């Protein structure tokens, strides 16, 4: 992208500046003429001879022309009044002195045929300097006085990045605010067609490549990035330009309400690491999804977790009859309950329970009678589950079996199982337990009226215990930031995006299908760490060291979304694929193997349980390869 604008765009960029400059030229020309006249009046004691008026007219014309040239050459019209300083005042004083010397030369020229009055050029220089500087000091005082909003907070000089619908809505909100916090100097946009635009009286003053220059020239204090549809690569490029300017940078994130046309100033936030991922914003068929949720009794297991709590936030917007949040962590459940009450006035039913406790779970089903279930309860920390395999097996496998079997028994209409890419060709305890969870759902599908679906995706940014919070804590301590391997990659998506696609997939699934979410391109953990350090205003390997620790047990260098036995089919939604596995599973045999696995855990036969689990997850025990689907 070029930083040089075409001629038409350059005219537009300078349009508002020229209007302001012409006004300044007119005011200064008047002051120069007034200074000439007043100097003569004072010297002649307000009794100027009629013959002198011809000289005055000549001097006024000549000095006005020369002053305009001097002002233009010195750059005094490029100075914002609010940022007038001593160097700018000295420029005006020098120009006034120069004009006075010219007047002295004209008054004292040999053979001029007139009385030489040296007081006239001296008075002129003093008056001219005082008036020119005084005008700008007055503007500066006015600018500072009007830079305070009605509630006493300063009005920030702002540039809006993006001259589209979101930018238009932001300008409209600022213009209608009784106590605005922003003075929008202009917009920037990379669309050539918009370089000749003016939105609500605010001109497009350049492109994103011009931001550094514009911040310097116009004293910009804040940059608002109002492009909610921009990809991560574009946000990354703009942020790299902005972060060197010293201005505060805030972003309008790509959330559904904004994409659908409801942008507000209070939705702007600091740029976060997930904004820099090379991902397209999600646009979902909310009318179809809402029809699946509206009026239903929705149960979310793991309701206090990162995925579960975000499911709750989005589902309450779809008018469920009841929302039941179930989990073991009372504190996290309490937090999301209070948040929903405070933000949307919705009071969910909160149940503290363990999904692997069959008796307790049946009590919950009997009392609450859920009709739609999102099963998000799971242990997900790979290294931690390597050292605690029994808990991973019981929570992720036994808990899934208990919940899914109860769903059939109590006539649940739809059951959505939240899985992970680590279930594909599993190498860890966590991945293997999630793969067996997928097998449970696939085996139960079609047994009764309950519609089952599996949603599989990769890492979510910002979830508790995940890489981003860990790196942030390491940066806050001054480093080092620990990375297992420089080439290790992972699929990433944001928590809201993952949940939007989970809900959308729930409208598609009916018979145990696996829905895989489009995770985009895999991201190097090393690149993520470098971006995060830079976002803190620090230099990688200088301010904060990067340390490589080696691949941990159970970890893969690169994750997968499908295995060789699965067939990927496109759905009607571009970010959701359907995956079919033609290897049928013997349900009764699977139930027996799960019982055996749980018994091994109870008997503390950890090594045997590990071996048994991996055999089960890899399909060596219950998949009937020779049976047709």
Residues classed as catalytic: 422
Q: Are 368 and 322 in contact (CB under 8 A)?
A: yes
Q: Are 374 and 502 in contact (CB under 8 A)?
A: yes
User: How many CA within 13 A on the CB side of residue 125?
Assistant: 17
Structure tokens at 108: 């004292």
Q: Are 369 and 407 in contact (CB under 8 A)?
A: no
What are all long-range contacts of 188-191, with beta carbons under 8 Å and residues at least 24 apart?
188/159, 188/160, 188/161, 188/162, 188/163, 188/214, 189/161, 189/162, 189/163, 189/164, 190/1, 191/163
Structure tokens at 226: 């109002």
Give the residue carrying structure tokens 């690491």: 273
Q: Are 396 and 433 in contact (CB under 8 A)?
A: yes
Q: Are 513 and 578 in contact (CB under 8 A)?
A: yes
By CB atoms closer than 10 A (0-12, 13-18, 19+), residue 305 is buried
Structure tokens at 387: 């050292």
Residues 6+ apart with CB under 8 A from 530: 540, 546
Round to whole Å and give the CA distance between 211 and 245.
8
Residues 6+ apart with CB under 8 A from 217: 78
The span from the first CA to the last CA of the chain, in angstroms, equals 54
Nearest to 354 by CA among 345, 362, 346, 344: 362
């Amino acid at each position: 992208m070029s930083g040089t604008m075409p001629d038409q765009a350059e005219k537009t960029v300078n349009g508002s500046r020229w209007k302001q400059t012409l006004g300044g030229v007119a005011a200064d020309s008047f002051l120069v003429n007034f200074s000439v006249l007043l100097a003569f009046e004072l010297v002649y004691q307000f009794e100027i001879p009629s013959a002198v008026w011809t000289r005055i007219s000549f001097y006024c014309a000549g000095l006005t022309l020369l002053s305009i040239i001097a002002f233009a050459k010195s750059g005094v019209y490029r100075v914002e009044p609010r940022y007038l300083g001593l160097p700018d005042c000295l420029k005006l004083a020098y120009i006034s002195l120069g004009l006075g010397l010219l007047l002295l030369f004209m008054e004292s020229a040999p053979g001029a045929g007139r009385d030489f009055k040296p007081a006239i050029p001296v008075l002129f220089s003093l008056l001219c300097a005082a008036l020119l500087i005084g005008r700008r000091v007055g503007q500066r005082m006015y600018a500072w006085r009007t830079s305070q909003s009605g509630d006493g907070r300063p009005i920030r000089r702002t540039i809006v990045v993006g001259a589209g619908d979101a930018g238009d809505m932001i300008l409209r909100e600022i213009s209608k605010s009784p106590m605005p916090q922003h003075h929008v100097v202009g917009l920037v946009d990379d669309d050539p067609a918009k370089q000749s635009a003016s939105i609500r009286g605010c001109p497009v003053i350049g492109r994103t490549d011009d931001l550094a220059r514009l911040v310097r020239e116009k004293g910009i204090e804040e940059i608002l990035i109002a492009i909610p549809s921009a990809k991560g690569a574009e946000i990354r490029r703009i942020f790299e330009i902005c972060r060197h300017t010293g201005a505060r940078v805030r972003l309008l994130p790509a959330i559904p309400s904004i994409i659908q046309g409801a942008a507000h100033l209070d939705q702007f936030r600091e740029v976060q690491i997930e904004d820099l991922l090379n991902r397209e914003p999600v646009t979902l068929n909310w009318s179809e999804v809402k029809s699946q949720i509206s009026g239903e009794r929705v149960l979310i297991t793991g309701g206090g977790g990162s995925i579960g709590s975000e499911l709750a936030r989005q589902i309450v917007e779809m008018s469920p009859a009841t929302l039941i949040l179930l989990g073991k962590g009372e504190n996290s459940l309490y937090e999301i309950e209070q948040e929903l009450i405070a933000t949307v006035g919705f009071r969910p039913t909160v149940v503290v329970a363990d999904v692997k406790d069959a008796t307790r779970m049946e009590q919950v089903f009997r009392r609450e009678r859920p009709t739609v279930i999102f099963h998000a309860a799971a242990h997900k920390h790979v290294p931690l589950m390597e050292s605690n395999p029994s808990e991973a097996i019981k929570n992720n496998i036994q808990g899934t079996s208990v919940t899914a079997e109860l769903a059939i028994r109590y006539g649940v209409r739809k059951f959505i199982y939240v899985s992970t890419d680590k279930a594909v060709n599993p190498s860890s305890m966590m991945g293997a337990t999630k793969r067996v969870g997928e097998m449970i759902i696939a085996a139960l599908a079609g047994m009764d009226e309950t519609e089952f679906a599996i949603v599989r995706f990769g890492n979510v940014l910002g979830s508790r215990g995940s890489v981003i919070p860990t790196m942030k804590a390491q940066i806050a301590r001054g480093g080092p930031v620990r990375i297992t391997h420089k080439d290790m990659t992972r699929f990433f998506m944001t928590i809201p995006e993952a949940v939007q696609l989970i809900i959308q997939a729930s409208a598609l699934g009916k018979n145990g299908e696996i829905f895989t979410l489009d995770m985009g391109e895999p991201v190097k953990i090393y690149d993520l760490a470098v971006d995060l350090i830079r976002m803190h205003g620090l230099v990688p390997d200088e301010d904060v060291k990067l340390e490589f620790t080696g691949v941990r047990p159970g970890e893969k260098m690169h994750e997968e979304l499908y295995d060789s036995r699965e067939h990927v089919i496109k759905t009607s939604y571009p970010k959701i694929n359907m995956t079919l596995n033609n290897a049928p599973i013997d349900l009764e045999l699977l139930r027996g193997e799960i019982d055996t696995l749980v018994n091994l855990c109870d008997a503390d036969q950890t090594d045997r349980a590990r071996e048994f689990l991996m055999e089960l997850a890899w399909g060596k025990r219950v998949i009937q390869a020779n049976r047709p689907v």
